Amino acid sequence: MIVIRRIAVSIVATCALVAHTAPVWAAAEVHRLSLVLSSNPTQLVARDVNDQLDDYNRIVLETRGLQGIDKLTFAWYHQADFRYFVRPNITVSAGFGQLRTMTTREFLPRIGQRIQHRAEVLSVPVHVGAAYYLAPYNQGDFQARAYLGGGFTHYTSNKVIFERLEFNTDTLTTLGPPESFRLNSFRLTGDRDGPGYYLEAGAHMFFAVRYSVMLGVIHRSAKIRNVARTFETLDRATGNPVTSNATETAETFSLDLGGVGVRMAVGIGF
């Protein structure tokens, strides 16, 4: 038994030594076509929208000693696009995404009473672009390549919403005129599509599997002008519009969807 045990130990040790000294033949997989999925935390400029929130805070809330509504300065930009190597160092890409951010503020003046605020910006950007890849860095089955790119974006289904819903308020607790407290719930909306562009830089890392990882920075520029406001008076109980036709005001504003964000993406090679 002792001899057998020694032989077994010798075999295991020999196999371990061979495995340790054997060369690694695997290489990083770089697929010509990849589906890239990303969730990017990003800055949001939205200057006109935030100016309107400042005005509302100053005129309506702060005069009553209430805490103001937070500005819309941060958003998540979720993307899905296809990236194709037309040459070993040049890719073209096309895809779409969703840019969304929201802030809320709720007040409870008395038992059974509630005043709820919501400000939201939503957009569905569609983009096409290209990127130039620098010389790769290789280490065993790992490859990393820095890239520079950019492209054009069309921001579709843009929505800006600001609403106030009052539930069971009275003439003393309403935030609107006391004489019309039953109609002091409202919604302001604006929507308009527009163009923009983006610039990006980062690193694309490949492994000995079909999956890759992208880390980088994206700068977006998109200022959509002449967005018309639409005003709706809402029912206190249901939140639905009281009037059948919304009133579009003559006043317009600009929706700035630009900002700088961090790209965190996973590529799936085909």
Task: Look at residue 55 and give its three-state secondary structure.
Answer: helix
For residue 163, how many other CB atoms are within 10 A of its CB? 17
Q: Tens digit of pLDDT for each residue in 108-148?
A: 999 999 999 999 999 999 999 999 999 999 998 999 999 99
Q: What angle do CA 149, 154, 158 make, to 5 degrees?
A: 130
CA–CA separation, 185 vs 19, rounded Å?
73
Task: Look at residue 5 and give its three-state secondary structure.
Answer: helix
**Amino acid (1-letter code) at residue 23:** P
Show the domains of the chain with their CATH numbers. 25-269 (2.40.160.20)
Q: Tens digit of pLDDT for each residue in 8-62?
A: 344 334 334 433 443 444 688 999 999 999 999 999 999 999 999 999 999 999 9
Integer CA distances (angstroms), 239 to 48, 117, 128, 172, 183, in order: 26, 12, 39, 21, 11
pLDDT of residue 23: 45
Mean pLDDT of 181-194: 90
Q: Tens digit of pLDDT for each residue in 227-264?
A: 988 888 887 766 677 765 567 676 789 999 999 999 99
Integer CA distances (angstroms), 154 to 50, 126, 150, 222, in order: 23, 5, 14, 9
* pTM listed for this prediction: 0.83
201: number of CA atoms within 13 Å, CB side? 4
User: Which is higher by pLDDT, 2 or 136?
Assistant: 136
Which single residue is written with the structure tokens 């096409």? 128
Cα-Cα-Cα-Cα dihedral sign, residues 137, 143, 144, 149: positive
166 Cβ neighbours under 8 A, 6+ residues apart: 114, 115, 174, 175, 176, 181, 184, 185, 236
